[in-house]
């Protein structure tokens, strides 16, 4: 048992000044103001000084970092390097994300990611490193017109049989799936994925308003990197973006790096989706945390220069870190830091069905981050143990 004290703590519904948080066996057992919380004399106290305790960040869309890609055959050796980078930026849980590739390559990648989740060093471990919490299947059920850099030759029409092959290869660890709802067969696959408690996300789509609505009716409840790889919003032809921004059943994520989406559009998005349905992602690649140069995104080579990731002149993921995304959201949308933090903690945990994650309440996992007053990461804890 260990008690943590700090300058303030962002709880699920309020900010606690001069808090104490008591942790035992990786779980939070009590939170409250120091003035009214009894700290047993026999337990040690760690004072985090002028820091602010917030829930650990959760990244639902990340392809790699520190020179490694999640689809790489070297994944077992590269996993710790990626997670070291994530810990430095406050991420305590994440969904390793695939990119469209030949079918056999995707199936093998899903098997490797399932091994990472199931291994003693995976999500079931009790060690101080960020944990893979489930797989995000991005591709191959994407629109040719809005595929971005996903290889056209490897895109496939959605079918229940193909979805089942992915599910079996991942051993049930698919937690999110991006799909273009206008594709033939998409509604049936969306409905089946929803039945298996997968967060189905609309993305890489050229859907008009009606097709996007059909996707929501089938069970889709989220949208992938809003505005990017989507039919543009038109005032007479609102398309998929019109559904994403106006349907209260749909949460949505955005890449708030100031490159993928202009700061003013991030503000528009945040105002439209509100505090409960705004989610931050990084879409980070192997280049994240590295110098300018050439890196891999799945089977593709990408070029990175001054924060811009491209392949054949198209945007290809990012080098954004989650703590920077939080600071950017606060600045772009004129939100308080505690509001922006929710978009990287409680909201992604809720939409992905991650129990006991993304909040600091008694009974939740003691995954938390200590921030400076301006939102920079000072320390990261997983299960109450410093990374």
Alpha-carbon distance values, 142 to 145, 179, 207, 298, 351 (Å): 9, 6, 11, 16, 21
Residue from 80, 53, 82, 57 nearest 69 by CA: 82
- Burial code of 148-181, b = ≥16 C-beta within 10 A, e = fewer? bbbbeebbeebeeebbeebbebbeebbbbbbbbb
Q: Is 197 marked active-site?
A: no
- Determine contact, residues 19/39, Cβ cutoff 8 Å: no
Rounded Cα distance between 85 and 91, Å, is 9
Catalytic residue, chosen from 206, 283, 323, 367, is: 283
DSSP-based three-state secondary structure for 221: coil
Residue carrying structure tokens 């009790």: 126
Residue carrying structure tokens 């990472």: 116
Rounded Cα distance between 94 and 116, Å, is 12
Rounded Cα distance between 191 and 197, Å, is 10
Cite the active site residues: 283
């Amino acid at each position: 048992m260990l008690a943590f004290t700090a300058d303030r703590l962002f709880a699920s519904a309020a900010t606690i000044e001069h808090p104490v948080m008591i942790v035992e066996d990786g779980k939070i057992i009590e939170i409250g103001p120091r003035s009214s919380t009894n700290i047993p004399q026999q337990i040690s106290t760690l004072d985090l000084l002028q820091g602010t305790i917030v829930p650990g960040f959760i990244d639902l869309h990340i392809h790699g970092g520190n020179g490694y890609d999640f689809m790489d055959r070297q994944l077992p050796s590269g996993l710790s390097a990626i997670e070291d980078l994530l810990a430095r930026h406050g991420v305590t849980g994440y969904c390793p994300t695939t990119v469209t590739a030949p079918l056999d390559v995707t199936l093998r990648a899903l098997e490797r990611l399932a091994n990472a989740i199931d291994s003693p060093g995976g999500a079931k471990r009790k060690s101080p490193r960020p944990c893979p919490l489930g797989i995000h299947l991005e591709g191959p059920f994407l629109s040719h017109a809005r595929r971005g850099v996903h290889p056209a030759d490897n895109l496939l029409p959605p079918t229940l049989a193909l979805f089942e092959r992915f599910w079996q290869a991942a051993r049930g660890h698919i937690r999110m799936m991006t799909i273009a709802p206008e594709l033939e067969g998409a509604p049936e696959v969306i409905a089946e994925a929803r039945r298996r408690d997968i967060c189905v996300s609309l993305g890489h789509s050229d859907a008009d308003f009606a097709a996007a609505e059909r996707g929501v009716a089938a069970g889709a409840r989220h949208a992938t990197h809003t505005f990017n790889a989507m039919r543009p919003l038109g005032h007479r032809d609102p398309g998929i973006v019109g559904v994403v921004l106006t349907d209260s059943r749909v949460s949505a994520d955005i890449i708030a790096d100031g490159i993928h989406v202009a700061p003013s559009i991030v503000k528009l998005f945040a105002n439209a989706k509100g505090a409960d349905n705004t989610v931050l992602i990084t879409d980070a690649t192997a280049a994240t945390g590295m110098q300018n140069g050439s890196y891999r995104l799945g089977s593709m080579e990408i070029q990175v220069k001054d924060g811009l990731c491209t392949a054949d002149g198209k945007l290809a993921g990012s080098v954004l870190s989650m703590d920077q995304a939080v600071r950017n959201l606060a600045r772009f949308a004129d939100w308080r830091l505690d509001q922006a933090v929710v978009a990287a903690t409680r909201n992604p945990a809720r939409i992905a069905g991650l129990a006991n994650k993304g909040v600091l309440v008694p009974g939740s996992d003691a995954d938390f981050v200590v921030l400076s007053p301006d939102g920079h990461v000072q320390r990261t804890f997983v299960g109450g143990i410093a990374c």
